[in-house]
Amino acid sequence: MKIAAIQMRSGLDPDANLAALEPMLAEAAAAGAQYALTPEVTMIFPENREQLASVAAPFEGHPQLRLVGELARQYGMHIHIGSLAVPLEDGRFANRSVLFGPDGGIAATYDKIHLFDATIAGLNAYRESATYAGGEAAVTAPLGDFTLGMSICYDMRFPKLYNSLANAGANLIAVPAAFTVPTGQAHWHVLLRARAIETGSYVIAAAQGGQHANGRATYGHSLVIDPWGRIIAELDHDEPGILVADIDASLVADARERIPALANARNFAVPGTLQP
């Protein structure tokens, strides 16, 4: 199966972001990709909740998503919008990942579970929970010979989610992201390789990159990693671009047979906690 990761530099105008995405989707389709992943906050990358509220569209009838569905049908490919903000009744938003099937219909959605609330030296504090509500369910979806596990950015720091996805059948895990530069330089590659190794799965990570209109800078370096933890394709920069790689489901079975960590895992007691 051929897959594509699309690296973007999304701004504050959803129509402009979609216009930047369209030729890269066409390039992925021309290269034979059956699945294309875009980054986190593909449609708009806001600075704050007020900015987001001024342009975020309801999920039902969402104008950019409707056009993406048409492109999926036109190209006969799965298109996975890494995430976009969806207004909720409490005034916050869901950070929602949307997978379109080759028929143009929505095949699956996933709301980001783990929210990034942190203070990084030299940068403004990030408080995703002030704008977003966390999701509550892990999601997998069939994807040809593969089963796709869905995650978003900060999720990658929580191995339990990836273990759960793999035990639910996922052997290709998507990680759309908008990683900061300092944390990207320190942790991007090692975290993604670890998630591939411990689950014996392919990992595809499509990233935002560069200096954005909201004043933030993101790391880029979109990746595809095989089940043995090897980086098989990378955009080694933060410029917009497309990354295409071939993946083979038999390598998942081989990695899991050589290191059967999923099968060997056991429950255990933790000192100082109540046990069932």
pLDDT over 70 at 121, yes or no = no
Residue 213: how many CB atoms within 10 A of its CB?
A: 15
Mean pLDDT of all residues in the chain?
94
pLDDT computed for residue 154 by the predictor? 96
pLDDT computed for residue 127 by the predictor? 80
Nearest residue to 197 via CA among 261, 108, 270, 266: 261
Nearest residue to 112 via CA among 139, 143, 87: 139
Of residues 51 and 273, more confidence is placed in 51
Question: Percentage of residues in the chain with pLDDT exceeding 70?
Answer: 97
pLDDT computed for residue 52 by the predictor? 85
Pair 140, 168: CB distance under 8 Å: yes
pLDDT over 70 at 2, yes or no = yes
Catalytic residue among 2, 22, 27, 40: 40
pLDDT computed for residue 46 by the predictor? 84
pLDDT over 80 at 188, yes or no = yes
Q: How many CA atoms lie within 13 A of 276 on its CB side?
A: 2
Mean pLDDT of 9-24: 96
pLDDT over 80 at 72, yes or no = yes
> Which phi and psi angles does 36 have, rounded to 5°?
-130, 130
Mean pLDDT of 166-173: 98
- What's the N-to-C CA distance of the chain in angstroms? 44
Euclidean distance between CA atoms 270 and 276, whole angstroms: 11
| 71 token code pair | 């492109």
pLDDT computed for residue 130 by the predictor? 85
pTM (predicted TM-score): 0.95
- pLDDT band at residue 78, thresholds of 50, 70 and 90? very high
Residue 138's contacts (CB-CB under 8 Å, 6 or more residues apart) are 110, 113, 149, 150, 161, 164, 165, 168
Predicted confidence (pLDDT) per residue in 211-220, tens digit: 999 999 999 9
pLDDT over 60 at 276, yes or no = no
| 237 token code pair | 């920069």
Residue with tokens 């929210």: 115
Q: Which of 93-97, 128-132, 136-140, 202-206 has the lowest average pLDDT?
A: 128-132
Nearest residue to 239 via CA among 215, 208, 216, 214: 208
Pair 199, 262: CB distance under 8 Å: yes
- pLDDT band at residue 128, thresholds of 50, 70 and 90? confident
Angle between helices 63-75 and 14-30 (to 10 degrees): 10
Class in CATH terms, 2-264:
alpha beta
Active site residue 40: yes
pLDDT over 90 at 187, yes or no = yes
Catalytic residue among 153, 160, 198, 234: 153
Active site residue 160: no
Alpha helical stretches, state H, the chain: 14-30, 49-53, 63-75, 159-167, 181-183, 189-199, 249-258, 261-264
- pLDDT band at residue 248, thresholds of 50, 70 and 90? very high
Catalytic residue among 22, 89, 112, 234: 112
Active site residue 22: no
Of residues 125 and 93, more confidence is placed in 93
Pair 61, 22: CB distance under 8 Å: no
The SS3 of residue 273 is: coil
Pair 242, 28: CB distance under 8 Å: yes
Q: Is the dihedral of CA 71, 72, 75, 79 positive or negative?
A: positive
Q: What is the CA angle 162-163-168, rounded to 5?
A: 95
Pair 166, 113: CB distance under 8 Å: no
The SS3 of residue 189 is: helix
